[in-house]
Amino acid sequence: MSIELRGVHKTYPGSPPVASLRGVSVTVAAGEQVAIVGTSGSGKSTLLNLMAGLDRPTAGTVRIANVDIATLADRALSGLRAHHVGVVFQGFHLLESLTAVDNVATGLLYQGVPARQRALRAGRVLDQVGLAHRAEHRPGTLSGGERQRVAIARALIGMPTVILADEPTGNLDTATGRTILTLLRRLGADGTTIVVATHDADVAAAMNRRIVISDGRIVGDTGEEHR
């Protein structure tokens, strides 16, 4: 699945308003593995949120799977995300009242999968990220790295065509980070589009393309070398 941004600006209201993105134009083709790098506050997370359809631009066009998100009602946009986009948030966004396996299963709610099948698939994906033994634990009893892996499993459960991840290894020890990176690379090899925002040089080096963002503008893109 491709994602295309053309002339995108994102400004958040305030006194003064905060310009997070300034005229960004970029296309991520289906099957690419892309790292978005930049300092804190450069616009990486905003760019990912727009690519996921979680936010809408102040100006410009965002197209997901060739669909202009400005033409979609919120419900239709949620459906598009449910079937095509898996998002790994930097802040986890787990439901504290649910177990790990039930948190992962929520990733299938918009797909109409029966409850029993949701639970079975959630258990299998937790096993993929090495957390089968913590399936019945709630987020408050998990370490930061374990919560990150639950968030990654939730993004993977719907078998999305694109994974967007904000610092996916940021809360993990080195060994677990390598495991998650290997998993992402395997998904990419199977044709899933992977876009990660990262400070981790190893993660960036493992991707096939590197986009550098600074002060809301793209200042480097190794993909341009092959276009």
pTM of the model: 0.86
Q: How far apart are CA 167 and CA 155, in angstroms?
A: 14
Predicted local distance difference test score (pLDDT) of residue 224: 60
Domain boundaries, the chain: 3-226
**What φ, ψ does residue 217 adopt, rounded to 5°?**
-125, 145
The CATH topology of domain 3-226 is Rossmann fold (3.40.50)
What are the φ and ψ backbone dihedral angles of 168, each rounded to 5 degrees? -65, -20
pLDDT for residue 15: 86
Q: Which of 95-109, 133-147, 174-188 has the lowest mean pLDDT?
A: 174-188
Q: What is the pLDDT of residue 82?
A: 81
Q: Is the pLDDT of residue 227 over 60?
A: no
Residue with more model confidence, 199 or 7 = 7
pLDDT-above-70 percentage for the chain: 98
What is the predicted pLDDT for the residue at 84?
Answer: 86
Please state, rounded to an integer, the average pLDDT across all residues of the chain: 89
**Model pLDDT for residues 154-202, shown as the tens digit of each residue:** 988 988 889 999 988 877 778 777 877 888 888 888 888 999 999 888 8
